[in-house]
């Protein structure tokens, strides 16, 4: 198990003669996949495993392929783990080893990653770098060079350090990771904006969401909240808004990672999380917020139905959640996040059928 109080500085080591073996793309491949760092003696280095959480790895141990050409990387490189162009994973897993930069005598020449297997970008390293540039640019003092080779490579020297952040039991982050974020994540951005912010997912073109969020936006607007769509703003503006707010409510999603990173230890902000699936993700977000900020967290779980895409039943990243909107409003008032539970208009069955008909996939209903 991962202990968020354990000091990871002793895990830092500099290796010579290592081989980085990227994971390979295959249409039917699912995690975990073979990949990681192989030592000069030919043995897989377990510290290089990339983890979703302490008991689930994204990588499998592997051996070098003697027939594969190897790219040499001159200089000293920090192993960054997996580079994932998906924002929510990038801002967690792809940053999870960079805490080591605060504990090195000399800054390395660059950071080298394993490429996450995404069909749209795999085999094109520059696409990984470009897709994640905004996240890395938000952290002060990082090495300018990042590499994401899709073929085996051999750094002249490789710095390996333990993964200090992830999901599940790793959501709180290690002490060194938490300190790294507070020190380097847009430290010069000052608070700017109102004290009440509803962070909406309503304009995201994704399957995983809640239904009738426009009605929820209306409820918050009537209670004096600004409706904020983070994907329409840069990270600096998002952070400025979160640092200014005293009440923030959002649907469970990657905005909560930014909120946790942005808030200071002296900002006792009330954060409401509206659940959108029945997995343990909300508990992970709650753990991160409590460990990495002074937020007072309120979970709003009023889901009454889930709609799954018919062909991937049970895959909760793609579900649409239907909340009991009146019960949600009452819970928000009880939590002190709203003054009044009106106006909110629950949808009729015809409204629900019409909303489902606009989705690109056939949906299967599950009652909770």
pLDDT of 227 higher than 90: yes
pLDDT at 207: 86
pLDDT at 121: 65
CA dihedral (212, 215, 219, 224) in degrees, to 10, reads: 100
The C-alpha angle 83, 84, 88, rounded to 5 degrees, equals 130
Q: Which residue has the tokens 């924002």?
A: 87
Q: If pLDDT is split at 50, 70 and 90, which confidence band does 205 have?
A: confident
Q: If pLDDT is split at 50, 70 and 90, which confidence band does 147 have?
A: very high
State mean pLDDT over 200-207: 92
Q: If pLDDT is split at 50, 70 and 90, which confidence band does 33 have?
A: confident
Q: Which of 75-89, 170-184, 303-317, 328-342 has the lowest mean pLDDT?
A: 303-317
pLDDT at 26: 62
Q: What percent of the chain has pLDDT over 70?
A: 96
Q: Which residue has the tokens 């019960």?
A: 327
State mean pLDDT over 126-141: 95
Q: What percent of the chain has pLDDT over 90?
A: 83
Q: How many residues does the chain have?
A: 368
pLDDT at 65: 85
Q: If pLDDT is split at 50, 70 and 90, which confidence band does 310 have?
A: confident
Two tokens at 293?
A: 């900020």
pLDDT of 356 higher than 90: yes
Spatial contact of 177 and 96, defined as CB atoms under 8 Å apart: yes
Strand, helix or coil for residue 170: helix
pLDDT of 153 higher than 70: yes
pLDDT at 266: 85
Where residue 157 falls (left for φ over 0; alpha for ψ -120 to 50; beta otherwise) is beta
Kindly list the structural domains of the chain, giving each domain's residue range(s) and its CATH number in brackets, ordered by start.
9-184 (no CATH), 196-367 (3.40.50)
Using CA atoms, how far apart are residues 174 and 178, in angstroms rounded to an integer? 6
The C-alpha angle 93, 124, 233, rounded to 5 degrees, equals 55
Q: If pLDDT is split at 50, 70 and 90, which confidence band does 188 have?
A: very high
Q: What are the tens digits of pLDDT across the range 43-69?
A: 999 999 999 999 999 999 999 988 889
pLDDT of 117 higher than 90: no
Q: If pLDDT is split at 50, 70 and 90, which confidence band does 143 have?
A: very high
């Amino acid at each position: 198990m991962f202990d968020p109080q354990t000091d990871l500085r002793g895990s830092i080591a500099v290796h010579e003669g290592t081989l980085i073996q990227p994971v390979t793309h295959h249409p039917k491949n699912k995690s975990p996949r073979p990949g990681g760092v192989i030592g000069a003696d030919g043995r897989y280095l377990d510290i290089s495993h990339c983890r979703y959480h302490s008991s689930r790895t994204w990588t499998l141990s592997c051996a070098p392929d003697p027939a594969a050409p190897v790219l040499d990387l001159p200089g000293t490189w920090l192993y960054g783990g997996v580079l994932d162009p998906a924002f929510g994973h990038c801002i967690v897993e792809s940053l999870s080893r960079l805490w080591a930069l605060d504990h090195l005598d000399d800054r390395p020449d660059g950071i080298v990653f394993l490429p996450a297997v995404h069909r749209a970008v795999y085999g094109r390293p520059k696409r990984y770098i470009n897709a994640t540039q905004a996240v890395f640019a938000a952290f002060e003092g990082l090495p300018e060079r990042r590499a994401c080779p899709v073929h085996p490579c051999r750094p002249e020297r490789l710095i390996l350090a333990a993964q200090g952040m992830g999901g599940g039991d790793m959501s709180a982050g290690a002490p060194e990771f938490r300190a790294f974020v507070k020190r380097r994540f847009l430290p010069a951005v000052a608070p700017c904006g109102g004290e009440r912010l509803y962070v909406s997912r309503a304009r995201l073109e994704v399957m995983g969401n809640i239904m009738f969020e426009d009605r929820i936006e209306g409820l918050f607007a009537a209670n004096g909240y600004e409706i904020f769509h983070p994907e329409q703003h840069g990270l600096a503006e998002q952070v400025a808004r979160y640092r200014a707010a005293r009440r923030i409510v959002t649907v469970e999603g990657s905005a909560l990672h930014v909120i946790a990173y942005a808030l200071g230890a002296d900002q006792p902000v009330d954060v409401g999380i509206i659940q959108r699936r029945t997995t343990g993700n909300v508990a992970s977000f709650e753990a991160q917020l409590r460990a990495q900020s002074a937020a007072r967290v309120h979970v709003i779980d009023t889901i009454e139905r889930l709609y799954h895409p018919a062909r991937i039943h049970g895959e909760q990243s793609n579900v649409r959640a239907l909340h009991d909107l009146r019960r949600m409003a009452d819970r928000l008032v009880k939590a002190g996040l709203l003054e009044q539970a009106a106006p909110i208009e629950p949808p009729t069955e015809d409204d629900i059928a019409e909303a489902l008909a606009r989705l690109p996939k056939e949906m299967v209903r599950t009652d909770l």
